[in-house]
Amino acid sequence: MFNSLKKMVPKNPNGVLYVLLIGRISTPHQNIDNIEASFVPLRKLLDGSYDGEIEIKQLGERGSGMDPRRETIREAEDLIDSGIVDLVIMEDVGRAHRNMQYLTGFVQNAFDHDTRVIATGDGLDTADENWEAILAAAAMRHGLTVPDARRRVKRTADFGFLRGGMVQKVRFGYRKLTKEEADSGRFGPKGLRMAKIPECEPILREMKRRVERGDSYPMIATWLTNEGIAPGPYVKSGRWTGPLVNNLLRFSGLSGTRKHREIVHQRIFKTGKFKRKKNENPEQAYYAELAHMSVDEQQALNQVMDARNPKKNKEASHPRKGIAREDTLWPGGLPP
């Protein structure tokens, strides 16, 4: 498939061939040993294919292929820019990048620095005069894996939600059901993976009453704490706060309406990260069995809460709106 490496002339006058092996896995669910496993056939390809000495540097890590700021890929790019690298070899070009823009740029930059690139799974070898066409096909193939995976995950999640699933965490007043409990139908429609805790309804109604009479959210949080009422197992701090009270009373599930995908994450191609956006049309499903109050009662409560903060829906004008804290120049931008 590939031209013999014996034809290579190392840049280093001492005849040593400097080679980079690039590997990557995406998620914590993948075994980190898969990176080393991907290097084994690459080493076999190198064995006996070059007459002189070969110096190999292995670069691999766990990270998204859409993230162009990964530590090892930046190190690889710096080494290529330095002019010392003779050959980059990887299982497929997706080990370097999945973003077609950065993937193409990576290979083209290597070519500009007289660094040969081989991707065994894609049949790419920049020593081949037709390498640009092969790279274009490989970049498209690997770029399409992201939207394909996203579509499959979304489809599965939406189907699970409509069957009563997709219950990650539950708020105060509810508990997560086991699959056996959900399939029994004793707590609502079969498949519904959450149930309300009836004993919490008087507490929620008292919270509602206190808001309507004018108590502040911190005052209500203090009352709950003094009464020894736990905020639920998923509150990391283990204590009630004003924002926690506010968010809980706005939870549509209190009136029986479950919502799915209320927040969507839109990828930022420049960084590979995501920004959160409110979904104006989330999936919804109503379950009377989950309601601690009627829809009309919660709507009236929301009106009272909205009246407390007339600026709530105004657009923020701060110049750093939408910029993550970790992207600040000081102190968040400093290395640890």
CATH code of the domain containing 170: 3.90.1750.20
3-state helix, strand, coil in the chain (%, to 5): 45, 15, 40
Q: Are residues 24 and 112 in the same domain?
A: yes
Q: Are residues 223 and 267 in the same domain?
A: yes
- Confirm whether 151 is domain-assigned: no
CA contacts within 13 A on the Cβ side of 226: 6
Q: Are residues 68 and 173 in the same domain?
A: no
Q: Are residues 31 and 125 in the same domain?
A: yes
Output the CA angle 266-268-274, nearest 5 degrees.
Answer: 50
Looking at residue 31, its pLDDT comes to 75
Inform me whether the pLDDT recorded for 279 exceeds 90. no
Q: Per this entry, what is the length of the chain?
A: 336
pTM higher than the cut 0.75 = no
Looking at residue 33, its pLDDT comes to 82
**Average pLDDT over the chain, rounded to an integer:** 87
Q: Are residues 176 and 263 in the same domain?
A: yes
Q: Tell me: the pLDDT tens digits for 168-178?
A: 888 999 999 99
Q: Are residues 122 and 239 in the same domain?
A: no
Q: Of 84, 118, 146, which one is at a domain's C-terminal end?
A: 146
Looking at residue 46, its pLDDT comes to 86
Q: Are residues 236 and 297 in the same domain?
A: yes
Q: Categorize the per-residue pLDDT at 81 as very low, low, confident or very high, splitting at 50, 70 and 90.
A: very high
Q: Tell me: the pLDDT tens digits for 187-214?
A: 889 999 999 999 999 999 999 999 999 9
Distance CA 55, CA 27 (A): 30
Long-range contacts (CB closer than 8 Å, 24 or more residues apart) made by 276-281: none
Element (H, E) at 180: helix 179-184
Asked, as a colleague might, if the bond just before 331 is cis with ω within 30 of 0, I would say: yes
Question: How many domains does the chain fold into?
Answer: 2
DSSP state of 325: G
Residue range(s) defining the domain that contains residue 285: 163-310
Query: By C-alpha distance, which of 296, 198, 212, 300 is closest to 255?
Result: 296
Average pLDDT over residues 251-257: 92
Q: Are residues 266 and 191 in the same domain?
A: yes
Q: Are residues 295 and 186 in the same domain?
A: yes
What CATH number does the domain containing 134 carry? 3.40.50.1390
- Confirm whether 316 is domain-assigned: no
Three-state DSSP state, 145: helix
Lowest mean pLDDT among 168-177, 236-245, 317-326: 317-326
Element (H, E) at 103: helix 100-112
Q: Are residues 211 and 303 in the same domain?
A: yes
- Confirm whether 130 is domain-assigned: yes
Q: Are residues 116 and 198 in the same domain?
A: no
Q: Are residues 103 and 238 in the same domain?
A: no
Q: Of 115, 146, 177, which one is at a domain's C-terminal end?
A: 146
